[in-house]
Every structure is written in C-alpha cells, then in structure tokens.
Structure 1
Amino acid sequence: MTKNLPRAPSLHKTSVPAGIVSALGLTQVIGYGTLYYSFSILAPGMATDLDLTLAEVFGVFSASLFIGGLSATYIGRQMDRIGAATIMTIGSALAALTLALCAWSPSIAIFAVAVILIEISSGMVQYQAAFAALVESDPLSASRSITYLTLIGGFASTIFWPISAALSVYLSWREIYLVFAGLNMFLCMPLHYWIMRVGKTASNADLAIRTRETIVGAIPPHARRRGMILVSFAFALLGFTLAAILAHMVPMLGSIGLGAAAVVIGSLFGPAQVLSRLINMVFGKNLSPPELAVLAAVLIVLGVLILLATGNWLPGAVAFAICLGLGSGINSIAQGSLPLYLFGSDGYGAITGKMAAARLAVGAGAPFVFAAAMENIGLDFALLANACLGVISIAAFVAVAASSRQPATPTG
C-alpha cells in the first residue's frame, strides 16, 4: 500500500531537465511546422499539381487526421512499454520517409497514403509523445517542464507559415517536402535518440528512486471512467474548433479582404501562444490545470467571435489572431498537465493516447467540414457554428473542474 510520506527536498525533485526540454522544444517546432502548419500554405499547390479541388485536398488531410487519431491509443501504450523517446526516434525517421514519399507521389492514391502516414508519424513525435517523455524523465517536475516546452513549441507556426510561404515562391511543394524530410531525419531524429540515451542512463543510475516517484491523480478511482469521457469530450470539441480555424487561417483571412496582411496577422498566432505560456509560467501558478483548460476554451471562442463581429477590420483580425493564439497556447499546456493532474503519472502514455485518439478523431473532419461550410453556407455561419462547439467545450471543462478534488500529490 502506497503512503504519502514527507521527504527531504532534493535538487533532482525540483529541477527541470533543461537540456531535454530545449531539445524537445526544437523538435516540436520542426515537427509541428513541417507536419502540420505547412499544409495549409502548400495545399493550393498540391491541388493544382494533382488536379484536385482544394476541398478534396483537405478531405485527404482530414482522413489522415482521423486515421492518425485512431493510432494514438496504440502509440500511447507503446510509449509506456518501450519509452516515449524511443517512439519519438522511430517517429522522426518515419516522418522523414513519409514526407519524401509524399514529395515523390506520382498519383492521388500514393499521395493519400503518404499524407496518412505523415499524420501517424506526427502522433509519434509531437506533444503527446513529448509530454510523455517529460513525465518519464521526472514526474515531479513534468508539469513545469510541459509549460517550458510549450513555450518553445509555440514558435512553430510563426516560423513555418512564413518559411513555407517564402519557399513556395522558389520551390514546388514537392521540393519543400524534401527539405522538411531532411530536417526530420538529420536534426530531429538525432535529438530524439540523444534523449532516449540520456533517459536510459538516468534510469539505470537511480532506478530505485524513480520507481517510487509517482503523481497521484485528483480524481478518485471510482470516478476515473466518467472523468476520462468528460475530459476527452471537452478536448475533442475544442480541438475541432481550433483545427478548423488553423487549417484555413491564412487563406481565410486573405479571402475576407486582408490580402498580403493575412500572413502577417496569421504569424501573430505563434507569439500569442508563447506569450500565454510565459504569462502562465510567471503569474499562473495559482491556476489549476482544470481552470487553465476553461480559460483556454474561453479565449479560443472569444477569438472566433471577434472575427465574426469585425470581418475584414484589421484591428479585429489582429485581436482574433492574438486571442486564438493565447487560447491555443494555454490549451497545449492543459493537454499535458490536466491528465497528469486528474489521473496521475502511472500509465500516463496510455491515458494521453486515449485522449489524443478522441481529440484527433473528432478534429479530423474539421479542415474538410469547415472548408465545405465556407463554400456552401458562407464564412459567417461557419464561424458561428464553430463558436457554438467551443461553448459546449467550456461547459464540459467547467464540469471537469467541479468534479476534481484536491490537487495531485507525489507519492513515495
């Protein structure tokens, strides 16, 4: 029977693994930038090259997100079994190979298969896996490490939206994907391998200590199933709301009359993500993960409503991008810290894998559904429907906050 016992503080207990966080931060910027954010910029070129409509290209993207989401549960179990950093190392190689396959694809069928494999590899290298790697590295500092990691990762869209747009002037989408494949193979994979080796060395050095270090969840055992369903539902709806906007953000802003300013406004999303994480790191210590999740959902919905109300008014579009970025930044922290807070560190990979599967499976249709909605019922109605889904997620997170008891505590 595990008892809570007072223990003397130690540097190991309170320190943040800075080297691991920094390395993961760089790989998250590249992983999200090359495997996710670049798609909306390169999609028009893909459509022209493959003789598809833009909606059909996003239909392939949505299908890939759905299948990638289904794989998240299996990936999460494997992270618990062989280690998150090992999965990330394999995932980087797979990401590089599938980007190259997509770049080569001579037919629509091979293109579709490649995009699906890209999204499966994404689940092996992006936040779900990175958070699990931090929990494995040190459960007691993991929540703080997640905040630092997302602080760095928030630059992904800021860096890769402009990079993708600039490269598309000189290179085809196929050539750009080959460049991105090189980044994953020759930069991300060695860093993930290094993290894997560091983790194995540390585990061998103090295995006896680490096996006693766990986090006890705030939800009692008898309520875990209900809590899992409610949290997964809330993140899934909010994920749909956010994915629908992000997949079309720059083209959407351009379509309402903002022209070249659309890229600049879209680029504010990344700094706003970073700003929200920095504010949370400095001033948000008294906010619990459930409260952070509620705040994230409120900010995202507020951003959508601002764009709906202001249209092509430049200050309104700027406020939209900033609110969306603030909400997305906090949401990323909540995705890592809320499961740890509610359910503890034991089986963290499997828990987050199940939640990611629900979030990604529901959000998979967002790019296609939102594109179809814009084409058939107009942007205003599409944004309004999106905001309504976000409001439901707010209510679900409030229910989660009400159902959790005292904050998670370490055991030993």
Structure 2
Amino acid sequence: MQISPATLGMGVSMTVGYGTLYYSFSILAPEIARDFGWSQSFVFAVFSIGLLGGAVSAPIIGRLIDRFGARPVLVSGSLLAALALAALSMVQNGWQFAVVTLAAEFVSIAVQYDAGFAALAQRHGQEARSHITLVTLVAGFASTVFWPLIQWLLTLMTWREVYLVLAGLNLLLALPVHLLWPSRRQPVGEASRDTDGAAARQPVSRRPQLVLMAVSLSAGGFVLSAMGASLLVLLGNAGFTAAVATLTGSLIGPSQVAARLIEYARRGVLSPPVTGLIATGALFVALALLFAAALYPAVAVALVFAVFFGIGQGLTSIIRGVLPLHYFGTAGYGRTMGTLSGIRMVLSAAAPVTIVFLNEQVGVAAAVGCLLAMGAVGLVAMLGLARMPSLRPEGER
C-alpha cells in the first residue's frame, strides 16, 4: 500500500487530539490544583467524570458521522476542542472547571480515534485496516511528544497560557487536516439508506457479535486505563525499586510500536479476529506475569510482562477499528463505533479508582487479580467472537 498523505495527516491530527485533550491533563492537573489550593484527588475526580462525558457523546457523534460524513464532524470537533481548551485557561472556580472539563471530554471523541477510524472506513471501506494501523503508529507517539512539550512550556509560561497554546495547536495543525479530508465515497442519502437497511435486515442477528465485541473491548479498556494510571504504584507495592518500575514502564512503548509495525508490515496476513485473539491473549499473559511478580517479585518477570503488555496495548487500538469493519461492514460504522466506545469508556473511567481502592484496602495481589480477571473476560469474549460469522454485505467481502 502506498502511504497516503491524508492518512499521515490524520495520524498527526489524532496525535494533537490525544495530546491536548488527554495526555495534557496529567501534567497540568498538579499545576491547577496548586494554583487554586485544591487537592489533586478533586482535580482527577473531575477528569474521571469528564471521561463519562465522552461515553455519552460517542454514540451521538457516531450517528452524526454516519449521517453527514466524517469531515464536518472532524472540523467541528477541532473548533470546539480549541474553544474548550481556551475556556479552560479562563476558569475561576471549581464549578467552572468541572463544567468546562466535562465539555472538553464531550467533544474529544470528535477528534480522536473513533472519529478518525470512521473517516478512514468511509474513505477506504474494507481497505481501511492498513490506514487505521498507520494512524495508530503515528498517534502512538502522542504522550512521547506532548508530555515533554508541556513540561517545557511550563518553564516558560503559566498553565493558563499552556492551555491557549494547546488550543492553537488544534487550530493550526488538526483543523487544516480535517478541512482537507476527502469527501466520503457515498452520497449522504445513499449511506443513510444503507445504514437503515442494514439495521432493518439484521435487527437481532448482529447482537451476539456486538455483545461479545463490547465485552472484550470494554474489558481491555478497563485494563489499559487502570494500568496507565497505576502501573508504577502497583510495581512499587509489589516490592520493585523505582528504577526497576521505571525501566519496566519504559519497555511498554517500544513493544507497542513494534507490534504495530509488524501488523502494518504483515497487513492482510492475519484476519482481524486472529489479531484480536493475539491482542487479548498478550494482555492476559502480561497480567498473569504481573500477578506472579506481585506474589514473588522478580525483575525478569516484570520485564517480560512489559513486552507482552506493550504488544497487547499496541494491537488493542487497532482491533477497536477493524473488528466492527470486519463483522458489520461500512454501513452504520460510526454508530457501531460510538456504541462500543460509550460502553468501553464507562468502564475505563471507573478503572483507576477501582484498582487504586483495591490496592490500598486489600493489597496489590487483589488489585492485580482483578485486572487478571478482566483480562480473562476479554480473552474469552474474543474467543467467542472469533467463532462468529461476518455479517458484512457480500459486496464488501
């Protein structure tokens, strides 16, 4: 496949979407708390509630993409994201901060993977898999780029001014990509009739696939969200030194990128369900290793855990986009993605507080045991899904 400049541009815009609306918070939250005299737990609780706003907006945005196409939704998302980030720079009290944070997370879905994958599916149909993989390769560096960038900006300006810079990046980098995004292949009316027709023809038959997909992706989302927030804490409580914990965490990123590179290079060799099994299987093996390390700390076990976890994390982002395309086709893709994302984000928002609570009240083994159970649920659901037939129209096979 020849690399498409539009796809690379989408990867850049997704990097901006995640960097400014998601990864920025962990760096700016302590500054905000210190400035207002709030506890950090309050600030992060507001952010967790804000993530639920994304769960509410995901199905709505998915339906808008199906009806009007991805480009107007992406363009509107960039403008609203810039507005929300600029508004965050002007908050003066707790309720304003809560309302604006909720609004920012509500619109974030329109500039992150769900909208980006839908745009690629509308443009490339069943050929979108390699484009989705390329976008995740580029956007996978969002934290690598934005964490040091924001830390550097904080040496030059206040957190309020940083939010204005982040708003500007949405306007200067992401908005032009979305404005230039090619129009959808099908006329809006035709796509809408196809979507309605598919739903009418398959009111019940697609439910088993959809349920199993939702269970597997949501279980994986719970694991990834919890680990992103608490991995270093869990490793420390398991008896590992800070140096070992940092080394373990640093191995996840390269493993994630390596898995996506292999998937991109070998695209089409493995079917999406098989890739899903590899992703969920790798996460389960990683969590089993982490559980063993929580009981009997061993550096080698922790390092192997990081490699398997990186593989699972890297492939999970891809299967989020390609499994709905494989099983249901392009008709109603935005709505399907929105439904799946809404369910996944509810569990993702609850994950960090759940695991931290278990770790503090019961112990690290119980916290990791909960994650292992969720990993097992995700793997079993994916095994069931892999046995299900594809329901996409004959013309897309």
1:225 aligns with 2:207: yes
Equivalent AA in structure 2 for residue 272 of structure 1 = S
Shift in alpha-carbon separation, 1:366–1:192, aligned structure 2, 3 A = same
1:120 to 80, 92, 106: 106
Q: Is the 8 A contact 2:329 2:391 kept in 1?
A: no
Match of 1:157 in 2: 143
Match of 1:11 in 2: none
Match of 1:85 in 2: 71
1:379 aligns with 2:372: no
The answer to which of 399-408 and 15-24 deviates more is 399-408
Q: Is the 8 A contact 2:20 2:166 kept in 1?
A: yes
Shift in alpha-carbon separation, 1:269–1:199, aligned structure 2, 3 A = farther
Shift in alpha-carbon separation, 1:180–1:373, aligned structure 2, 3 A = farther
1:246 aligns with 2:246: no
1:286 aligns with 2:269: yes
Match of 1:403 in 2: 388
Residue correspondence of structure 1 range 343-358 to structure 2 within 5 A: 343-358=328-343
User: How much has 1:74 moved relative to structure 2?
Assistant: 0.7
2:285 to 302, 314, 326: 302
1:235 to 206, 217, 224: 217
Secondary structure of 1:287's aligned partner: coil
User: How much has 1:307 moved relative to structure 2?
Assistant: 3.6
Equivalent AA in structure 2 for residue 199 of structure 1 = S
User: How much has 1:408 moved relative to structure 2?
Assistant: 7.4
User: How much has 1:167 moved relative to structure 2?
Assistant: 4.3
User: Counterparts of 2:396 and 2:279 in 1: how far apart (Å)?
Assistant: 29
User: How much has 1:405 moved relative to structure 2?
Assistant: 5.0
Q: Is the 8 A contact 1:105 1:111 kept in 2?
A: yes
Match of 1:30 in 2: 16
Match of 1:102 in 2: 88
Secondary structure of 2:395's aligned partner: strand
Shift in alpha-carbon separation, 1:354–1:210, aligned structure 2, 3 A = closer
User: How much has 1:76 moved relative to structure 2?
Assistant: 0.3
Q: Deviations over 1:250-269 (max 9, x none)?
A: 66667776547766654543
Match of 1:365 in 2: 350
Question: Identity rate of aligned residues, in percent?
Answer: 36
The answer to which of 300-309 and 24-33 deviates more is 300-309
User: Counterparts of 2:159 and 2:183 in 1: how far apart (Å)?
Assistant: 37
The answer to which of 315-324 and 276-285 deviates more is 315-324
Match of 1:4 in 2: none
Secondary structure of 1:396's aligned partner: helix
1:389 aligns with 2:371: no
Shift in alpha-carbon separation, 1:343–1:101, aligned structure 2, 3 A = same
TM-score, scaled relative to structure 1? 0.83
Q: Deviations over 1:239-259 (max 9, x none)?
A: 111111113446666777654
1:339 to 305, 324, 332: 324
User: Counterparts of 1:169 and 1:376 in 2: how far apart (Å)?
Assistant: 38
Q: Deviations over 1:45-91 (max 9, x none)?
A: 33333434333333222211112111111110000111112111111
Q: Is the 8 A contact 2:291 2:369 kept in 1?
A: yes
User: How much has 1:374 moved relative to structure 2?
Assistant: 3.3
Shift in alpha-carbon separation, 1:140–1:238, aligned structure 2, 3 A = closer
Match of 1:199 in 2: 183
Q: Is the 8 A contact 1:373 1:379 kept in 2?
A: yes
Equivalent AA in structure 2 for residue 236 of structure 1 = S
Shift in alpha-carbon separation, 1:34–1:288, aligned structure 2, 3 A = same
Q: Is the 8 A contact 2:24 2:146 kept in 1?
A: yes
The answer to which of 184-193 and 359-368 deviates more is 359-368
Name the count of aligned residue pairs. Answer: 390
Q: Which runs of 5+ in 2 are unaligned?
A: none
User: How much has 1:323 moved relative to structure 2?
Assistant: 2.5
TM-score, scaled relative to structure 2? 0.86
Q: Which runs of 5+ in 1 are unaligned?
A: 1-14
Match of 1:6 in 2: none
Q: Is the 8 A contact 1:156 1:270 kept in 2?
A: no
